[in-house]
């Protein structure tokens, strides 16, 4: 839920309701009704345990120190996925990659392909600079808005 900025999800079927909502602390809050409400609730154990992991998770989340140096360098930007699909660095397994570390790219440079519903979509960088890091492995699924390439503007 956190990765895709989803704050609430609900499903309702015959005699069954499930609602998951991300709380203010970022942890899911689960509620259910219908035939799974009350003592037969399969989520009851999870709900009872939820406060304990919240206390443990609060300490690591509160100190995102590695993010601070990246924020200081305004010349670092990211090429993000415009869609959900499968990431490919080259047009075919035998072909050279569109972009490698150190490759200079322009706004119209094709940097990868994202396959969505059996359609190969060439993705343009939309930024100008030099590729510093490739943040996703070839053949891996990607989400909308996921960072693919770290680029130094210039």
Q: Please write down the HEC assignment for all residues of 75-98.
A: CEEEEECCCCEEEECCCCCCCCCC
Burial class (CB in 10 A: 0-12, 13-18, 19+), 137: exposed
At CA 5, angle to CA 136 and CA 99, rounded to 5?
Answer: 20
pLDDT of residue 39: 47
Q: Which of residues 98 and 16 earns the better pLDDT score?
A: 98
Q: Which of residues 122 and 18 earns the better pLDDT score?
A: 122
Which DSSP category does 38 fall into? G
Cα gap 110→59, rounded to integer Å:
41
Taking 80 as the threshold, does the pLDDT of residue 75 lie above it? yes
Taking 80 as the threshold, does the pLDDT of residue 100 lie above it? yes
Among 21, 14, 19, 20, CA closest to 35 = 14
What Å distances lie between residue 59 and 55, 62, 68, 123, CA to CA? 7, 5, 17, 38
Structural domains in the chain, sorted by start = 8-62 (no CATH), 68-153 (2.40.50.100)
Instruction: Look at the pTM and tell me if it is higher than 0.95.
Output: no
Taking 50 as the threshold, does the pLDDT of residue 62 lie above it? no
Radius of gyration of the chain (CA): 21
CB atoms near residue 8 (< 10 Å): 11
Residue with tokens 């693919």: 148
- DSSP string of 42-87, one letter each residue: TTHHHHHHTHHHHHHHHHHHH--TTHHHHHH-TTEEEEE-SSSEEE
């Amino acid at each position: 839920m956190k990765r895709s900025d989803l704050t609430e999800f609900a499903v309702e079927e015959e005699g069954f309701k499930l609602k998951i909502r991300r709380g203010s602390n970022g942890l899911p809050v689960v509620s259910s009704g219908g035939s799974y409400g009350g003592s037969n609730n399969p989520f009851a154990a999870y709900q009872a345990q939820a406060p304990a992991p919240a206390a443990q998770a609060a300490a690591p989340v509160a100190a995102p120190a590695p993010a601070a140096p990246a924020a200081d360098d305004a010349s670092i930007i990211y090429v993000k996925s415009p869609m959900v699909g499968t990431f490919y660095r080259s047009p075919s397994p035998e072909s050279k990659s569109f972009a490698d570390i150190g490759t200079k790219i322009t706004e119209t440079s094709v940097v990868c392909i994202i396959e969505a519903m059996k359609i190969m979509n060439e993705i343009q960088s939309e930024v100008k600079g030099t590729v510093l890091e490739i943040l996703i492995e070839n053949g891996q699924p990607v989400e909308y808005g996921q960072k693919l390439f770290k680029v130094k503007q210039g």
